[in-house]
Amino acid sequence: MAVLPAQATLRGVVHDSLLTHRPLAGATVVVHGTDRTALTDRRGRFTIPDLPLGSHVVGFFHPSFDSLDLAAPGQRVELAAGRSPLVHLATPSIRGASLLLCRRPPEPSTLVLTGTVRAAAGDAPLARAVVEVRWFELALGGARARETMFVATDTTAADGRYQLCGVPTDIALTMVATAAGQTTGPVALAFDSVGVARRDLRVSLTDPSAASLPVDSTEAPRPAGRGRLLVVVRDPSGTSVSRAIVGLRGTDHADTTDGTGRAMIADLPSGTQTVAVRALGRQPQEVVVDIAPDAATPLTITLDRFVTLLPAVAVVGQAPDARLSGIQRRVRAGNGYVIAGDEVRALAFSSIGWARIPGVTLSSGRAASGPLIVQDDPVPMMRGFSGERCRADVWVDGIRFSTLSGWELRGMLLNARTVEVYASASRVPVEFTTVSASPCGAVLIWS
């Protein structure tokens, strides 16, 4: 009768030290030199029974880290009869990942950004695509602060992979990928304090609307694209949100949701794009989506309501409306203009309403965004403290919107009751003065 060799059981936990800082579920644990594997549970635990006694090297892999090209180091364990050791496995730390990927330790408030650029039609990786991440930082120079643009750039390898080191996590970022003269839309990025992040991108190689144009181009607006977007907007309870403005960043394509919360936008550039949704009284949303060519790409977006915590107020008698009294007070000061009723809709649909306000002009609706020339609805241009022309600051129900596009402004005006206009920075009421290096005039929209 054959005698079976002595065996032992290996137990352990896998921890994610890089992305989630939690136990890693769904990791495949392997014992090198054997065919024995185990899958970690939701608490990162695993068990591998009936292993031969002796020295073994244990490792693991997980799709999240394979895509980052990070290999977790193996750990050697000694299995002896009657013992069941507990093994702690972990991904590389943030410092270790930076040393592996960038050959240098991480800087504070930065991360390594990696991903793959692929064709919008099919799944082919795109080699020699240029990936750019841009951001602005305030720098003190002399008596005033100046905004300086920084750019991190990489060119994809044969497998479409790119890697950017030292990308800041505490500032607004814009990302664009360009391949064979075609480009994605501008993609807004926001990161938590993590050491490594991934963003995959898709570029359409055939869509004429996705063609990259030089910054100084004076050509006609872009041709119609081959993508369509079917958007459904709901609140957290699942109720449809009507009259929300849905549009594509970097274009003039926008639509308003109907009574069922649906909006259909056609003739869009395919590839990776940013969809923005705005509705009065609700938190704005921006969602990155890959728009397929020659198809309707579905997208469901949830909008939360603005939640404003107000102090307790004891009311005796009937108090006047605080918002109305505030508008009246500012009007009496004589610094601005108030538009109400049907005249507000005139601002949304026609340039005539804006032309009646001294000191206000409208932009052409075309703007450069890196390699892109984007087409948008015109926006009001006003004056800064030094008399220079600048894009007006926009406040909606007392909340400032720093990146409101022309079509978004149009949608807000369609839902507004009253609008205040202050054509220069020196006329803006102090409670609506922008704290920045270059404040401008302001538009205050009230629903």
Residue after which a domain boundary falls, among 57, 92, 127: 92
Residue-wise pLDDT tens digits, 291-315: 999 999 999 999 987 655 445 554 4
pLDDT of residue 133: 93
Q: What is the DSSP letter of 66?
A: H
- Residue 403 shares a structural domain with residue 442: yes
| Amino acid sitting at position 254 | A
Q: Which residues of the chain have pLDDT under 50?
A: 1-4, 215-219, 309-310, 314-320, 367-375
Q: How far apart are the first and last CA of the chain?
A: 88
Residue-wise pLDDT tens digits, 102-119: 888 888 888 889 899 999
Q: E-strand spans in 303-378? A: 337-340, 361-362, 366-369, 372-375
CATH number at residue 272: 2.60.40.1120
Inter-residue contact 48 to 36 (CB < 8 Å): yes
pLDDT of residue 69: 63
Element (H, E) at 85: none
Q: Residue 1: CB partners within 8 Å, gap ≥ 6?
A: none
- Phi first, then psi, for residue 326 (nearest 5°) are -65, -40
Residue 218 domain flag: no
**DSSP states of 422-445:** E-BGGGS-GGG---SSS---EEEE
CATH number at residue 118: 2.60.40.10
- Residue 420 shares a structural domain with residue 340: yes
CATH number at residue 413: 2.170.130
- Residue 333 shares a structural domain with residue 408: yes
pLDDT of residue 218: 41
Rounded to whole angstroms, how far apart are CA atoms 441 and 379? 12
Token pair 């497998």 is at which residue?
159
Counting runs of H as helices and runs of E as strands, what totals does the chain give?
6, 33
394 strand-pairing partners: 401, 443
Residue 116 domain flag: yes
Residue after which a domain boundary falls, among 59, 92, 125: 92
- Residue 161 shares a structural domain with residue 238: no
- Residue 410 shares a structural domain with residue 348: yes
Rounded to whole angstroms, how far apart are CA atoms 414 and 375? 20
Element (H, E) at 98: helix 94-102
Residue 371 domain flag: yes
- Residue 438 shares a structural domain with residue 340: yes
- Residue 334 shares a structural domain with residue 440: yes
pLDDT of residue 254: 86
pLDDT of residue 369: 45
Residue 215 domain flag: no
Rounded to whole angstroms, how far apart are CA atoms 46 and 293? 43
Residue 282 domain flag: yes
Q: Which of 329, 314, 300, 134 is nearest to 231 (CA)?
A: 300
- Residue 33 shares a structural domain with residue 67: yes
- Residue 71 shares a structural domain with residue 122: no
The pTM of the full predicted model, rounded to 2 decimals, is 0.66
Domain that holds residue 116: 105-205
- Residue 168 shares a structural domain with residue 251: no
- Residue 354 shares a structural domain with residue 433: yes
- Residue 29 shares a structural domain with residue 77: yes
Residue-wise pLDDT tens digits, 184-232: 998 888 776 667 888 999 999 999 988 876 544 444 566 889 999 999 9
The CA-based angle 292-295-296, given to 5 degrees, is: 95
Residue 154 domain flag: yes
Number of domains making up the chain: 4
Token pair 């600048």 is at which residue?
390
Rounded to whole angstroms, how far apart are CA atoms 151 and 62? 32
3-state helix, strand, coil in the chain (%, to 5): 10, 45, 45
SS3 147: strand
Residue 308 domain flag: no
Residue 13 domain flag: yes
pLDDT of residue 367: 47
